[in-house]
Amino acid sequence: MNTQDINRRVRLVMDLRSKGIRDTRVLGAMERVPRDVFVPAAVKDQAWDDMALPIGRGQTISQPLVVAIMSEALALSDRDKVLEIGTGCGYQTAILCKLCRRVYTIERHKYLLEHAERRFEELRLRNVTALAGDGMKGWPKMHGIEQAPFDKIIVTAAAREKPPQKLLDQLSLGGVMIIPIGPSGDQMLKLYRKDSIEAYSVRDIMPVRFVPLLPDIASDNEDAA
């Protein structure tokens, strides 16, 4: 790592602190995970700026501040098993890997998932399992093994009115889910806590802008868009 990269990382962390991020584990993860690995070559010079960037397939890598806020709100521990809906380029996934026991992540765009998995391998992230699938259905039972319930769930695409019921069902009792809710142009990042089998408490975090949460695996035509 050269001096310029070190300076950019330190500057980003200082910027996040000035904007209210206090969790030292989150700040440490944001400093250690090389964001430039997760962005296309055309925008690498902006990788350490606090801004969202395009990653192809109509998707973006989230603004570092949003990644930090979502990660901090989850209050992750090294014992937590986390479900992530929307792997994208894998940047948020990599941050989660530094903060919890294991991450299970679902992406509907096979192209993005394949590239994300290469980055996980390059960075030697061994506590992540990724698959292409319909994130609205939660993590599927595989080889007779059920991974649900999850201690924490993070959704990086916006549900229009409320979280998918299947995701709420996969949340452990006392667990929390962070998810953007609302139509394009009027989205609110919300934190849901599962207080009982049927009851949830909800609080608003901040207004955000995310791509919509969509069902099914992306078609070949959509995946090439």
Q: What domains sit in the chain, N to C, each tagged with a CATH number?
A: 3-223 (3.40.50.150)
What pLDDT sits at residue 59?
87
Q: Is the preceding omega at residue 149 within 30 degrees of 0, hence cis?
A: yes
Question: Does residue 77 have an active-site annotation?
Answer: no
| C-alpha pair distances (Å), 96 with each of 16, 180, 194, 218 | 17, 18, 21, 24
Give this prediction's pTM: 0.94
- What does the pLDDT average to over 126-150? 95
Instruction: Give me the catalytic one of 62, 172, 201, 219.
Output: 62
Rounded to an integer, the average pLDDT of 112-133 is: 97
Question: CA angle 19-22-24, nearest 5°?
Answer: 130
What is the reported pLDDT for 225? 53
Under 8 Å between Cβ of 105 and 129: yes
Which residues sit opposite 87 in a β-bridge? none
Q: What is the pLDDT of residue 51?
A: 94
Cα angle: 28, vertex 33, 37; to 5 degrees:
160
Starting at the earlier edge strand, list the strands of the sheet with 102-107: 128-132, 102-107, 81-85, 150-155, 171-181, 187-194, 200-208
Amino acid 131: pLDDT: 97
Mean pLDDT of the chain: 94
Overall average pLDDT of the 44-49 stretch: 92
Two structure tokens written together for 180: 């953007």
